[in-house]
């Protein structure tokens, strides 16, 4: 019988479980210009600037214009991904180690090329 806490070799495995509470966020939208879209706002709680963490990102470019998707820590690029023209299926990214913005910075996303139409879904949490 399989034990979900161990690998097939019997080695213990750890799994990250994210509980959906007030620290969780999700965002959905369409990137249609090369302007910045905010996924998660910069937040202060009890005088402490919180850090936004991105755990999952799905995107699909439905236009005939290829583009590049950038995930931003404020204005600094954290990661960039190709979004070819006329994608028939979305790209699904789940980050084992979340992409982390600096404390007090918004977590943003942008399509680099005008004329693209990139559908996005993102989720994460604040700490």
CATH number at residue 117: 2.60.120.260
Q: What is the pLDDT of residue 34?
A: 81
Residue 16 lies in a domain: no
Q: What is the pLDDT of residue 11?
A: 64
- Six-digit token string for 40: 């998660």
Q: Could you list the residue range(s) of the whole structural domain that residue 48 is in?
A: 24-126
Residue 59 lies in a domain: yes
Number of domains in the chain: 1
Residue 42 lies in a domain: yes
Q: What is the pLDDT of residue 9?
A: 65
C-alpha to C-alpha distances, 78 to 12, 58, 75, 97, 111, nearest whole angstrom:
32, 16, 9, 13, 14
From 31, 108, 52, select the one nearest 76 (Cα to Cα).
108
CA pair distance 125, 40, nearest whole angstrom: 9
Residue 15 lies in a domain: no
Residue 40 lies in a domain: yes
- The mean pLDDT of the chain is 89
Q: What is the pLDDT of residue 3?
A: 61
pLDDT tens by residue, 41-71: 999 988 999 999 999 999 999 999 999 999 9
Q: What is the pLDDT of residue 22?
A: 75
Residues 6+ apart with CB under 8 A from 102: 51, 73, 74
CA pair distance 115, 78, nearest whole angstrom: 23
Task: Using pLDDT thresholds of 50, 70 and 90, give the confidence band for residue 83.
Answer: very high
pLDDT tens by residue, 6-26: 666 666 665 555 455 679 999
Under a CB-based contact definition with an 8 Å cutoff, are residues 98 and 79 in contact?
no
Task: Using pLDDT thresholds of 50, 70 and 90, give the confidence band for residue 73.
Answer: very high
Residue 13 lies in a domain: no
Residue 33 lies in a domain: yes
Residue 9 lies in a domain: no
Residue 28's SS3 state is strand
C-alpha to C-alpha distances, 63 to 27, 34, 57, 114, 120, nearest whole angstrom:
21, 14, 19, 11, 13
How do beta strands 48-49 and 76-83 pair? unpaired
């Amino acid at each position: 019988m399989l034990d979900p806490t161990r690998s097939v070799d019997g080695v213990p495995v750890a799994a990250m479980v994210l509980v959906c509470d007030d620290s969780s966020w999700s965002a959905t939208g369409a990137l249609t210009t090369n302007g910045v879209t905010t996924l998660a706002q910069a937040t202060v709680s009890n005088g402490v600037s919180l850090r936004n963490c991105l755990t999952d990102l799905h995107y699909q470019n439905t236009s005939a214009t290829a583009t590049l998707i950038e995930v931003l820590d404020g204005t600094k690029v954290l990661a960039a991904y190709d979004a070819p023209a006329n994608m028939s299926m979305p790209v699904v990214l789940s980050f084992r180690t979340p992409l982390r913005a600096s404390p007090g910075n918004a977590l943003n996303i942008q399509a680099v090329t005008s004329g693209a139409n990139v559908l996005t879904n993102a989720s994460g949490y604040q700490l």
